[in-house]
Amino acid sequence: MEIRIVEETTSTNTALYEEGLAGRRDDCMLVAFRQTNGKGRRGRDFYSPVDTGLYLSIFLHTEMEVSKAMLLTPLMAVAASEAVEKYIDDSMSIKWVNDLYYKDKKVSGILTESSPLTLDGKTEFVVIGIGLNLFEPEGGFPEDIKNRAGAIFYKNIKNVTDMSHNELVDFKKELAQVILERFEFWYSKFPDELPVEEYRKRSYISSRWVQILDGPEVFVEGISDDFGLAIQYKNGSKNILKAGEVSLVL
């Protein structure tokens, strides 16, 4: 699929979403080096400074049930982990459902948005966006996120501190390309074969206690075959969460 690269946009998700509403039919990837209005889940901002991050979205013109479209978030989590791991010696962790962690810090978030639904409840298009903190911004992360945000490449990547602006741009283009390759690999098997094993082995919260957002503390037994979170409540009853947000109990 086509890759478009821009220096700056409001949000790669919003840009592609608007193109979708205006009638875009072709799948594509939009990469930006900076977003002025990066969006996170639950209406939060996604801090998207120039130079230190990579922001991209994939547009898929596809009719599917929303429950199926939701599986594209963990699919992207696996694809991006595999891509990044080509450049580091250890593995990424995936915090259910849409965050990538590295060395116990959130280094990436994923936001999947569906088009308005058709009358029979299907998507017309889906936009899957991911933002990666490649390096730590000069002066560190902003106060409100600095305790949990981190960067992937501190001293992992060879000669990173010596990279010129152009080399950095080339590196980001290459990484975006590798993410797309891994995404297309898994998407070509979707939904018959899902990268659940690849997700499980990176799961950050399996066998740990977490707090469900606005809910109780539960024990995470693992990841179900359709990327649900298999949990056990303190009273022993079990459930599988299909969506939501949890935080680690420390």
The nearer residue to ligand BTN, 103 or 234, going by C-beta atoms, is 103
The answer to whether residues 240 and 231 touch, using CB atoms and an 8 Å cutoff, is: yes
Least distance between ligand BTN and beta carbon 248 (Å): 15
The nearer residue to ligand BTN, 101 or 153, going by C-beta atoms, is 101
The nearer residue to ligand BTN, 127 or 241, going by C-beta atoms, is 127
The nearer residue to ligand BTN, 232 or 247, going by C-beta atoms, is 247
Least distance between ligand BTN and beta carbon 123 (Å): 17
The answer to whether residues 74 and 45 touch, using CB atoms and an 8 Å cutoff, is: no
Least distance between ligand BTN and beta carbon 54 (Å): 8
| Side chain identity at residue 111, one-letter code | L
Least distance between ligand BTN and beta carbon 72 (Å): 13
The nearer residue to ligand BTN, 17 or 187, going by C-beta atoms, is 17
**Exposed, middle or buried: residue 112 (CB in 10 Å: 0-12, 13-18, 19+)?**
buried
The nearer residue to ligand BTN, 20 or 109, going by C-beta atoms, is 109
Least distance between ligand BTN and beta carbon 160 (Å): 21
Residues in touch with ligand BTN (CB under 6 A): 11-13, 35, 38-41, 44, 46, 55-57, 99, 109-111, 129-131
